[in-house]
Amino acid sequence: MSFLELKDLRIHFPTDDGLVKSVDGLSFTLERGKTLGIVGESGSGKSVTSLGILGLHKGTRARISGEIWLDGEELVGAGVEHVRKLRGKKMAMIFQDPLSAMHPYYTVGNQIIEAYRIHHDVSKKVARKHAIDMLARVGIPQPDRRVDSYPHEFSGGMRQRAMIAMALCCDPELLIADEPTTALDVTVQAQILDLMRDLQRDFNAALIIITHDLGVVAELSDDILVMYGGKCIEYGSAEDIFERPEHPYSWGLLGSMPRLDREPTERLLPIQGSPPSLINVPPGCAFHPRCPYADRTAGRSQTEVPELLETHGGHRVRCHLPSDQRRGIWENEIKPNLEAS
């Protein structure tokens, strides 16, 4: 059995306007030491998924079904207290904006010490020593002094390093990073990504990177899962997704990514329209109102929800277009455009 396995995970939120299907039947597996990138627009269900794995929707109004298996343990049906004990220790999370994600009234050291001591029965002194070690490990200079600083006294990059130190302080086996570099300067982004790669290798953790930035996943991921409207619409190795993507939405993502090797005069190729409302998901394929190829499916896009089907070697796509037709479009229409421009 895989280290982490999601089976048909659904997380729905009842609201006054209707049922919000934030995550709607998501399945994937992840092994130790491997990295999965989850990509998608805002509101595609990426963050809800990660909070769901951590069990942070328990006790809220969210309706959760499906299965989450972590190291042989099922978490959806597990008790609140049981999952709480796993949180921070077995699985930890790095959040997007470390300034708002850290408590402004406590020192960085205190927050790491708190995270460590909740799972380890040690004295404050021992925990403090550990916090200093962790800060040193993530590359914060003068950690024995900085441990007593407040988050607002750190720079953005340093704060994110401290956040990573906090997440890693209990040596988690699963690390989820939700947009870990989005709030950072570009120069700092690369440093943080390098750091995460090094740490993942050292700790041999399973890593999930959630982002809307394909550059980030290209840097780190072994596998990539593209989400749209709460569903996985394409899943494959990083090579599959970047070299031979088969879903029109993935093509759109690649087309809207700025690239250095492209002529500056060329425009990006954005995806038209806006992400679907999760209350009134379009019937049939959720992407069909924005899909330039929807008219080639003989109306099935509008009426029938496509299945996530394997095309070859673990590469799975949720699309009504026949696989060879998709490959043809990619090779003949999309790829030349991306490369020529």
Partner 1 sequence: MVTYIIRRLIAAVLMLVVVSIVTFSIFFVVPRLAGVTATDFANRYVGSKGATAETVVALADKLGFNDPLTVQYGRWVKGIVAGSDFDTGASIEHCPAPCFGYSFITKTPVWPELLDRLPVTVSLAIGASVIWLVAGVSTGVLSALRRGSFFDRAAMGVALAGVSLPIFFTGMMSLVFFSYKLGITAPGRSYTSFVDDPVRWAYNLILPWITLAFLYAAVYARLTRAGMLETMGEDYIRTARAKGLREPTVIVKHGLRGALTPIITIFGMDVGLLLGGAILTETTFSLPGLGKYAVQAISANDLPKIMGVTMLVAFFVVMANLLVDLLYAVVDPRVRLR
CB of 4 to partner 1, least distance (A): 16
Q: Is 54 in the site for partner 1 (CB under 8 A)?
A: yes
Q: Is 17 in the site for partner 1 (CB under 8 A)?
A: no
Q: Is 303 in the site for partner 1 (CB under 8 A)?
A: no
- 177 CB burial (10 A radius; 0-12, 13-18, 19+): buried
Written as six digits, the tokens of 75 are 């978490």
Q: Is 122 in the site for partner 1 (CB under 8 A)?
A: no
CB of 102 to partner 1, least distance (A): 6
State phi, psi for 269 to the nearest 5 degrees.
-110, 85
Cβ nearer to partner 1, comparing 51 with 329 = 51
Query: Can you say whether the dihedral through the CA atoms of 33, 35, 36, 41 is positive or negative?
Result: positive
Cβ nearer to partner 1, comparing 151 with 229 = 151
| Helix%, strand%, coil% for the chain, nearest 5 | 40, 25, 40
How distant is the alpha carbon of residue 159 from its chain centre?
A: 20
Of 30, 26, 33, 28, which Cα lies nearest the Cα of 3? 30
Q: Is 213 in the site for partner 1 (CB under 8 A)?
A: no
Cβ nearer to partner 1, comparing 121 with 261 = 121
Q: Is 104 in the site for partner 1 (CB under 8 A)?
A: yes
Written as six digits, the tokens of 313 are 């070697």
Contact pattern for partner 1 over residues 149 through 188, marking x by CB under 8 A: -x-x-------------x----------------------
Which residues in 72-101 contact partner 1 (CB under 8 A)? 84-89, 92-93, 95, 97, 100-101
Which residues in 237-296 contact partner 1 (CB under 8 A)? none
How far apart are the C-alpha atoms of 235 and 316, rounded to whole Å? 5
Of 226, 261, 260, which Cα lies nearest the Cα of 242? 226
Residues that bind partner 1 (CB under 8 A): 51, 54, 56, 84-89, 92-93, 95, 97, 100-105, 107, 114-115, 118-119, 150, 152, 166
